[in-house]
Amino acid sequence: MRYSRPPKLLASTLWLAWGVACSPPAGPGRDATVFYASGADLQSINPLVAVHPLAKAVQKHLLFQTLATYDVRLQPVPRLASWEWEDGRRALVFHLRSDVRWHDGVPTRAADVVWTLTMARHPEVAYPRARDLATVEQMALVDSLTVRVRFDHVQPTFPDVFTDLAILPAHRFEGVPPQEIRRAAFNTAPVGNGPFAFVEYRPNQRWVFRRFEDFPVSLGRPAIERFVIAVVDEPSTKLAALTSGEVDFAGITAAHAGFVRRDPALRVFDYPMIFSYALVWNVRREPFDDVRVRRALTMALDRQAIVAAALYGFGTPADGPVPPEHPWFEPVAGVGHGVVAARSLLEAAGWETGSDGIRRRRGRRLAFQLLTVGSGDNVLEQMIQAQLRSVGAAVTIRQLELTSFLATAQGEARNFDALVTGIPGDLALGHVAAMFDGVTPGPLAYPGYRSAQFDAAMEAVRGAETEDALEAAWRTAQRILDGEFPTTWLYHARGVQGANNRIRSEPPDLRGELAGVTEWEIEKGPRRR
């Protein structure tokens, strides 16, 4: 399909969909405001609650501050605090900056750090990365600017969670019990201590932030005055907003990249992400409890064709959870695409082809439901459906909205046959840990999967006392999973984003879309219609 400038009807649809959402907010005008499109409402930007990738980026780079951050070489560096190791790397002592204030004027202090970490570990809060704090044995408030965190064993690396969990203002949660944090008013009217302060939230329309004038210059005071996240849930509407100049940044589909590149007012960012797509089998259920079936269905999938057709080449076929860009990527044998071999393996497992072309064993059809997120275009799911049909598996696609999908996928009952999902990863070890959670329920990757070898590898991860030992354990886990296929990894995605040339900014990198936001600058000029 060839794309030209969006028709007037599409532009009209844009305004009907947005209403007041894209009208410039009160205060600084268009020449001082960056408009950033999001495909879904962030709902909450409380770091203890939010899971939306853009919400997490807003937490870390706009509204709040983490204790540490990553530099362009992906090395941890001080942000809100510097640190030092004690007791042979069994304790971290954080020294907070004294010049950081919450946006309500209250100084940021060590008590805020202790409160945030305590809540992140509280089971009733259900912080998504609580397991990353399981090794914390004790937290001590040394003085108003110093916190000592002691672990139950030697830490081989700087814990990634301290670059991900933004610190919250304890005084804003007085009287809020842990079980109420997910429903706290703070979640949609937050007070931060980052370079931008919260101004306004209109559900399913926009989030508005303004530059915080008292933010320390040495931490990077922004050049832009306002930052608006506009909720635009349809790809075609988002494209129309980008090309008309109503938004400055928008994630675009790979199919639209060529069209955007032809517009002299726009540019396309194609950048690496730690974001992997997978077909997750529920190994608690038949027939996915049989490794031969999982292997055969994996062989039936042509991942190179999926990347080419569904992603227009913006991705890398995957044989495992760790992308090649990761320093601990372990090349594995995987399985190639082979329909004939897949059919033979299913026959060896007792699945014979019926008169309708669908395989059967002991009266049971090789048929299952595939859960996914969304309500519209599902090219990836349709390709999976067609490719598995070629080996005699009947797949029914069921699309759910995100909240229902997560409730089903992560619920203790695991009430699904299979699901296809993207699994976002945090930098460094965070992504690897999220993938390898076969021993405890929680993340999506391996529901119900148990293996003595894999459990031993996880014990080695938990007991590693040096970075080399930790890396070796993660590499071992990758090799074990290569022959088990509790999840079929499809591809490692690349980000594709359209940007207005009026914003001077560097392309996103592995640190995330908003990592360099304080360095963005705006070219003054007329607004394009």
CA distance linking residue 221 with residue 198, whole number of Å: 16
pLDDT at 194 > cutoff 50: yes
pLDDT score for 23: 47
Q: Is the pLDDT of residue 186 over 70?
A: yes
Helix 339-348, helix 291-300: angle, nearest 10? 160
Distance CA 280, CA 489 (A): 8
pTM assigned to the model: 0.76
Q: According to the model, what pLDDT value does residue 377 have?
A: 63
Model confidence pLDDT, tens digit, residues 120-175: 999 999 998 898 899 999 999 999 999 999 999 899 889 989 999 999 999 999 99
CA atoms within 13 A on the CB side of 40: 16
- The more confidently predicted of residues 276 and 100 is 100
Residue 29: predicted pLDDT: 66
What's the mean per-residue pLDDT of the chain? Answer: 86
In the predicted model, is pLDDT for residue 20 greater than 80? no
Res. 429 pLDDT band, cuts 50 70 90: very low
* Cβ neighbours for 467, distance < 8 A, ≥ 6 positions apart: 156, 157
Q: Among all chains, which residue has been given the structure tokens 């088990």?
A: 484
Q: Which domains does the chain have, with CATH numbers?
A: 31-64+179-270+495-522 (3.40.190.10), 68-173 (3.90.76.10), 273-493 (3.10.105.10)
403's CB contacts (< 8 A; 6+ apart) are: none
- Amino acid sitting at position 307: V
Whole-number Cα distances in Å, 75 to 404, 427, 436, 524: 37, 10, 23, 35
pLDDT at 374 (0 to 100): 74
List Cβ neighbours of 7 (8 Å cut-off, separation of 6 or more). none
What is the DSSP-derived secondary structure letter of residue 6?
A: P
What is the per-residue pLDDT for 462? 77
Listed residue (518, 528, 509) closest to 222, CA to CA: 518
Cα 390 to Cα 268: distance, rounded to the nearest angstrom:
36
